[in-house]
Amino acid sequence: MSEETNINTATNYSADSIQVLEGLEAVRKRPAMYIGDVGEKGLHHLVYEVVDNAIDEAMAGYCTHIEVSINEGNSITVQDNGRGIPVDMHEKEHKSALEVVMTVLHAGGKFNKDSYKVSGGLHGVGVSCVNALSKQMKTQVFRDGKIYEQDYSCGKPLNEVHQVGETTLRGTRQTFTPDDSIFIVSEYSYDILASRLRELAYLNAGISISLTDKRVCNEDGEYRNETFHSTEGLKEFVRYIDSSRTPLISDVIYLNTEKQDIPIEAAIIYNNGYSENVHSYVNNINTIEGGTHLAGFSRALTRTLKKYAEDTKALDKAKVEISGEDFREGLTAVISVKVAEPQFEGQTKTKLGNNEVTGAVDQAVGEALAYYLEEHPKEAKMIVDKVILAATARIAARKARESVQRKSPMGGCGMPGKLADCSDKDPANCELFLVEGDSAGGSAKQGRKNKFQAILPLRGKILNVEKVMWHKAFESDEVNNIIQAIGVRFGLDSEDSKKANIDKLRYHKIIIMTDADVDGSHIDTLIMTLFYRYMPELIQGGYLYIANPPLYLCSKGKVKEYCYDDDARQRFIDKYGNGNEKEINTQRYKGLGEMNPEQLWDTTMNPETRILKQVTIRDAAEADYIFSMLMGDDVGPRREFIEKNATYANIDA
């Protein structure tokens, strides 16, 4: 965009630019419809909606700094140095444009093509929804040398927009306190916000985004603070995601171009691992389910690499049939497109539907990749050799799966012999417990309700699939037992044989149940790694859970209570022992096997009383990084992570 165009657009951004689509009445009545839920996800979504407005200003070329603060009392302040929300009179609504933006759903400049070329929050509900779900909100606008202000409660203005002073600043400052009568969670997580703001900084090179937690002071007396800034954008992002993997080639294959009026940026890197990790974004929104931009990327990658391999006769000696998925093994990539009028499938914005984007991305990636391969023959050969290895492994994996289905240890209907199945055949009613050890498995089998609860005991620690080739997992009895028991199948997708098919899933709750100690946590992580790398569809569908067995049985006289953490035990001591630990009896459960069947049912398996933690993928790129860092070969990043988080760890001695 030229400087002249910028100036003209800035001049024309006024009350006339604000278009109203609908009112705000239903937001407080059905908040989950607008922000997903009223738990942790919805609470943090409020911050994202406000930050999205500032990012839109940055994408339009008017904002360079965004400051986010978590204040004492868990209110949030977001300030940017953009143009500031217009405050002049809105012709249709007969009130200040600021009040319209803050109190009417789907009102804003992003619906006017002349105000923003592209916008990240077009399918979002906007800052008015944040206002409706906040018990208090204050908006300050720094515009034309003046400070304007308006206060709200539950979405309703408490006063008129009024001038409160003069300033040299420019931009908007929003401060809000979520309504605790609506949200079931009221405390903001620094790490969740930091993860999203880091992502936004990578996706928008050159912008500085700071996060300050005014609830926590460091040792030097300063507030906890981080500033996220990236000069190289996606090149840095893909290196960050892949930082704990061993690179196959040192280069990042990078493109930043525009095709058919669609800005396209992508960064591609290959490592010596066995998983494919492609993260796609549209207007800064993580499209978890992919869409037309991802289809274009995959098509270009397969076509270009295959043509290069054929032209250089690299496939002649291999004598294996190459499939599209072979080109993506060991690939980590981030693709980001900016679409003026994105069509997302559903309000969740997780799948792009614009057909024109496929061709644009295909052309851009194809050209950039072909140029790189031509200019870097040594690296190109390493990539093609990796592709041939992947094809060989894929064929081996198919043979391993076929071999497993013929193995004798499986009981009737191809089920593992150790599986104690349930009698109900409706997956929606059924639960499978993956239990650490035969001893605990025996207690669980006796304590369960066999109508809807199945038990599969696991022998020790399962294979760490992060470190092995894809087909090796199918040579592991424990991994195969899990896959067979839950009814997941591989090799049915014609384009991706690694894709898990969950059409015949046998349980809608798969519950990892391990000892409440360090070994148990390690087994939890190994099993979660298996699901994340091989069957992410189960996590995305909300089917994976972790059981939460108690750490202690505390008693005083006839009073007994299971305590699930040290805080609960301390509360029991304070209540029944007058704060004196010696006044109470404490039984520490080292393992599930120490509990008899009745205790295991009461504490960990009874749907009426148990505590289950649902495993979710909040941020795919961050999850990818964490799993590769914790479970991969590189010790350095893992040691650094442990040292940094040792304060928060539960150490079992």
Q: Is the dihedral of CA 210, 211, 214, 217 positive or negative?
A: negative
Q: 305 by DSSP, 3-state: which?
A: helix
Determine which one of 80, 515, 622, 624 is catalytic. 515
The set of residues, in sequence order, having a beta carbon less than 8 Å from that of 24 and lying 6+ positions away, is 103, 104, 105, 128, 129, 132, 155
**What is the crossing angle of helices 620-631 and 190-203, to 10°?**
110
Determine which one of 149, 329, 517, 624 is catalytic. 517
Contact status, residue 627 vs residue 275, Cβ threshold 8 Å: no
Compute and round to an integer the Cα radius of gyration of the chain.
Answer: 27
CA neighbor of 125 nearest in space, from 15, 14, 24: 24
Identify the burial level of 520 via C-beta atoms within 10 angstroms of its C-beta, where 0-12 means exposed, 13-18 middle and 19 or more buried. buried
Residue 639: its H or E element = helix 635-645
Contact status, residue 519 vs residue 651, Cβ threshold 8 Å: no
What residues form DSSP beta bridges with 163? 148
* Rounded Cα–Cα distance for residues 215 and 28 (Å): 28
CA neighbor of 304 nearest in space, from 321, 277, 281, 328: 328
Measured from the Cβ of residue 83, the count of other Cβ atoms closer than 10 Å reads: 22
User: DSSP per residue over 527-591, as a string?
Assistant: HHHHHHHH-HHHHHTT-EEEE---SEEEEETTEEEEESSHHHHHHHHHHHSTT-GGGSEEEE--S
Looking at residue 462, the DSSP 8-state letter turns out to be: P
Q: Is 517 a catalytic residue?
A: yes
**What is the crossing angle of helices 518-534 and 620-631, to 10°?**
130
Would you state the structure tokens that stand for residue 459, as one six-digit string? 């022998």
Contact status, residue 164 vs residue 205, Cβ threshold 8 Å: no
User: DSSP per residue over 141-199, as a string?
Assistant: EEETTEEEEEEEETTEESS--EEEEE-S--EEEEEEEE-TTT-S--PPPHHHHHHHHHH
Residue 433: its H or E element = strand 431-436
Q: Is 151 a catalytic residue?
A: no
Determine which one of 151, 496, 519, 561 is catalytic. 519
Catalytic residue ranges: 436, 515, 517, 519
